[in-house]
């Protein structure tokens, strides 16, 4: 089966490809000549995922899925949440985002957090959503060189290493995105008419 993954983030494409396996072939937005910025104006992670998938479906007439992820830090009242990608500004600078998060936690003892991913699939005109959550804590400083985004400061429950200190396989076994994509994969495996 071929399906559009509505993202321009090559890191996410690589990660999702590893999880989905060979039965599903991901096609890029470039394959449908989509170069415009896809709107993300909703107030929730789920809302943004649905908005992106619906936008591509409505404007290009293709089955597709989109995902939106957010880091929710307990002591920051759930921030950065839906604003995760541009927490420190519109530049979407990962280092600045991490530094703002670490600065916000200065002097706080509660460093509990979670990553949340919602995958929204539009298939044959019908919408489906799948959610994955990874609980953990925010490290005192950046650790590791792997991954992307906030991976160097997020330590998943049961680990002493950050996501950025793990191999792609290790991260994919426990990450929020992996949990949501595994549900998507199970949906595809069960779906009768993938034609």
Q: Per DSSP, what are the bridge partners of residue 118?
A: 68, 131
In angstroms, rounded to a whole number, what is the distance separating the alpha carbons of residues 115 and 134? 5
pLDDT 10s digits, 16-47: 888 888 888 888 898 899 999 999 999 999 99
**Tell me, what's the pLDDT at 192?**
58
**Tell me, what's the pLDDT at 127?**
97
In angstroms, rounded to a whole number, what is the distance separating the alpha carbons of residues 8 and 20? 18
The answer to whether 119 touches 107, Cβ cutoff 8 Å, is no
Q: Name the residues annotated as catalytic.
A: 68
| Confidence band, pLDDT 50/70/90 cuts, at residue 176 | very high
As to burial, measured by CB atoms within 10 angstroms (0-12 exposed, 13-18 middle, 19+ buried), residue 28 is middle
The answer to whether 129 touches 119, Cβ cutoff 8 Å, is yes
Q: Is the pLDDT of residue 163 over 80?
A: yes
Kindly state the helix (H) or strand (E) to which residue 129 belongs, with its residue range.
strand 126-138
Query: pTM of the entire structure?
Result: 0.90
Q: Is the pLDDT of residue 194 over 80?
A: no
**DSSP string of 131-174, one letter each residue:** EEEEEEEE-SS---SSSSTTGGGEEETT-SS-GGGS-HHHHHHH
Q: Is the pLDDT of residue 193 over 60?
A: no
The stretch 178-183 carries a mean pLDDT of 94
Q: Per DSSP, what are the bridge partners of residue 123?
A: 126
pLDDT, mean over the chain: 93
Q: Is the pLDDT of residue 6 over 70?
A: yes
Q: What percent of the chain has pLDDT over 90?
A: 79
**Tell me, what's the pLDDT at 13?**
83
**Tell me, what's the pLDDT at 190?**
85
pLDDT 10s digits, 99-131: 999 999 999 999 999 999 999 999 999 999 999
pLDDT 10s digits, 65-95: 999 999 999 999 999 999 999 999 999 999 9
């Amino acid at each position: 089966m071929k399906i559009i993954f509505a993202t321009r983030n090559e890191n996410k494409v690589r990660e999702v490809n590893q999880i989905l396996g060979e039965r599903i072939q991901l096609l890029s937005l470039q394959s449908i000549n989509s170069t415009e910025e896809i709107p993300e104006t909703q107030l929730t992670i789920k809302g943004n995922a649905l908005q992106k998938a619906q936008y591509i479906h409505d404007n290009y007439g293709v089955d597709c899925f989109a995902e939106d992820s957010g880091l929710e830090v307990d002591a920051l009242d759930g921030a950065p949440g839906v604003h995760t990608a541009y927490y420190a500004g519109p530049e979407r600078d990962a280092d600045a985002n991490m530094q703002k998060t670490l600065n916000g936690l200065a002097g706080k003892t509660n460093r509990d957090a979670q990553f949340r991913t919602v995958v929204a699939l539009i298939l044959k005109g019908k919408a489906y959503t799948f959610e994955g959550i990874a609980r953990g804590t925010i490290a005192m400083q950046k650790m590791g060189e792997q991954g992307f985004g906030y991976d160097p400061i997020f330590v998943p429950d049961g680990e002493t290493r950050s996501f950025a200190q793990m191999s792609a396989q290790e991260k994919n076994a426990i990450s929020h995105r992996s949990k949501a994509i595994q549900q998507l994969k199970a949906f595809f495996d069960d779906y009768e008419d993938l034609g």
